[in-house]
Amino acid sequence: MEPVVAQSVRYAETCQDCGADLECCGVQVLAHGCVQWDVGASCTACGFAIAVCFGDIPSERRAQLLAEHGAATLRVIGPSAKKRVVIMRVLRAELGIDLVSAKAALGSVLNGDHSGTLPEMELLARKLRASGIAAEAARP
């Protein structure tokens, strides 16, 4: 089993029950071959508490993750960079993109500028390694 990779951010929202500040903690987790976004929140005023799992990460929380933890970069190492078709196939499947976008993504991966959150890049690196490509997620 590969280790779990997780990054978290804290933020405040408004409690839907009493209007006080809700303390929220969002965690982006890579586990069991997928990246998920889990949120736990509790209100200090009324005790309202919620936990939401398996959601999509909102873009503002993703931006916060990148700002607080830095961006990770996906790298393909050595002769694996020549296996362009295999890399593109993995990128298309994992990112859900078309062929034209996959070609652009391939270019940025090979240039070392394909970046994102650490759990996202680690997932891509693992999927690439599973297809025989030497890849790693470089931590910020």
Site residues (vs Zn ion, CB under 5 A): 15, 17-18, 20, 43, 45-46, 48
Pick from 82, 94, 84: nearest CA to 122: 94
Q: How far apart are the first and last CA of the chain?
A: 24
Q: For residue 33, what are its two tokens?
A: 């071959």
Instruction: Report in angstroms how near the CB of residue 49 gets to Zn ion at its nearest.
Output: 9
Specify the residue, 2 or 21, whose C-beta has the smaller distance to Zn ion: 21
Specify the residue, 17 or 68, whose C-beta has the smaller distance to Zn ion: 17
Instruction: Report in angstroms how near the CB of residue 77 gets to Zn ion at its nearest.
Output: 50
Specify the residue, 44 or 101, whose C-beta has the smaller distance to Zn ion: 44
Specify the residue, 45 or 53, whose C-beta has the smaller distance to Zn ion: 45
Instruction: Report in angstroms how near the CB of residue 37 gets to Zn ion at its nearest.
Output: 23
Instruction: Report in angstroms how near the CB of residue 40 gets to Zn ion at its nearest.
Output: 15
Per-state percent for the chain, helix, strand, coil, to nearest 5? 40, 35, 25
Instruction: Report in angstroms how near the CB of residue 24 gets to Zn ion at its nearest.
Output: 12
Q: Which helix (H) or strand (E) holds 76?
A: strand 72-76
Spatial CB neighbours of 13, under 8 Å, sequence gap ≥ 6:
21, 22, 24, 41
Specify the residue, 50 or 130, whose C-beta has the smaller distance to Zn ion: 50
Q: Order the strands of the 5-14 sheet from edge to edge.
A: 5-14, 21-31, 34-43, 49-55
